[in-house]
Amino acid sequence: MTKLTLYQPATYQIKVPGALDTLWVDVASSLSLTIEESVDGQPITILTGLMDQAMLQGLLRRLYGLGLPLISVICIECIEKSIHTDVFQNIRQGGLK
């Protein structure tokens, strides 16, 4: 697992109570939506996808706006993208080269 940063995407899994409609997830989004049943028989929506910190924050805000409490948010796998690393390292050093 690589070090988490603000600009490197990672695969996250977010669980919320209830059954979100599959139309809720954008078609262009990298998210998958699964509905499972909890031990007490209640539905749980599981959202899984590759996202950076900005997208994660936006998704969490959308869920908050729906009034859904979070069951869990887990970083499953951090993905290191050399292109992202190179671009942001250049920006920090004073501009793109």
State pTM to two decimals. 0.73
Give the tens place of pLDDT for each residue, 11-68.
999 999 999 988 777 655 778 999 999 999 999 999 999 988 999 999 999 999 999 9
Give the pLDDT of residue 21: 86
Give the pLDDT of residue 34: 93
Q: Where are the domains of the chain?
A: 10-92
Burial readout 19-43 (b: 16 or more C-beta within 10 A, e: otherwise): ebeeeebeeeeebebeeeeeeeeee
Give the tens place of pLDDT for each residue, 69-88.
999 999 987 654 433 444 44
Task: Give the span between the Cα atoms of 69 and 63, in whole angstroms.
Answer: 8
| Burial class of 60 by CB neighbour count within 10 A (0 to 12, 13 to 18, 19+) | middle
Give the pLDDT of residue 97: 43
Q: Which CATH class is domain 10-92?
A: alpha beta
- Amino acid in position 35: I
- Using CA atoms of 14, 19, 24, 30 in order, give the dihedral in degrees to the nearest 10: 40
